[in-house]
Amino acid sequence: MTSHSPVVITDRALLCDRGFIDGVWLAASKTFAVHNPASGVELAQVADFGPTETTAAVAAAAHAQPAWAARTAKDRSAILRRWFELIVAAQDDLAAIMTAEQGKPLAEARGEVLFGAAFIEWFGEEAKRTYGEVIPSPVRGRQLLALRQPVGVVAAITPWNFPNAMITRKAAPALAAGCTFIVKPAPETPLSALALAVLAERAGVPLGVFNVIPTTRASEVGSVLTEHPLVRKFSFTGSTAVGKLLMAQCASTVKRVSLELGGNAPFLVFDDADLDAAVVGALASKFRNAGQTCVCANRFLVQSSVVDSFTRKLAVAVAALTVGDGMTPGVVQGPLISERAVQKVERLVADATAQGARVVCGGARHALGGTFYAPTVLAGVTPAMTIAREEIFGPVVTIIPFADDADAIAMANDTPFGLAAYAYTRDLARAWRVAEALEYGMVGINEGIISTELAPFGGIKESGIGREGARQGIDEYLEIKYVAMGGLGG
Q: Which residues are catalytic, by number?
A: 260, 294
Residues 56, 60: Cα–Cα separation, whole Å: 6
3-state per-residue secondary structure call for the chain: CCCCCCCCCCCHHHCCCCEEECCEEECCCCEEEEECCCCCCEEEEEECCCHHHHHHHHHHHHHHHHHHHHCCHHHHHHHHHHHHHHHHHCHHHHHHHHHHHHCCCHHHHHHHHHHHHHHHHHHHHHHHHCCCEEECCCCCCCEEEEEEEECCEEEEECCCCCCCHHHHHHHHHHHHHCCCEEEECCCCCHHHHHHHHHHHHHHCCCCCCEEECCCCCHHHHHHHHHHCCCEEEEEEECCHHHHHHHHHHHHHHCCEEEEECCCCEEEEECCCCCHHHHHHHHHHHHHHHHHCCCCCEEEEEEEHHHHHHHHHHHHHHHHCCCECCCCCCCCCECCCCCHHHHHHHHHHHHHHHHCCCEEEECCCECCCCCCCECCEEEECCCCCCHHHHCCCCCCEEEEEEECCHHHHHHHHHCCCEECEEEEECCCHHHHHHHHHHCCCCEEEECCCCCCCCCCCECCEECCEECCECCCHHHHCCEEEEEEEECCCCC
In the chain, the amino acid numbered 106 is L
277 contacts 310 by C-beta, under 8 angstroms:
no
Q: Is 208 exposed, middle or buried (CB count within 10 Å of its CB: 0-12, 13-18, 19+)?
A: buried
Distance of CA 378 to the CA centre of its chain: 27
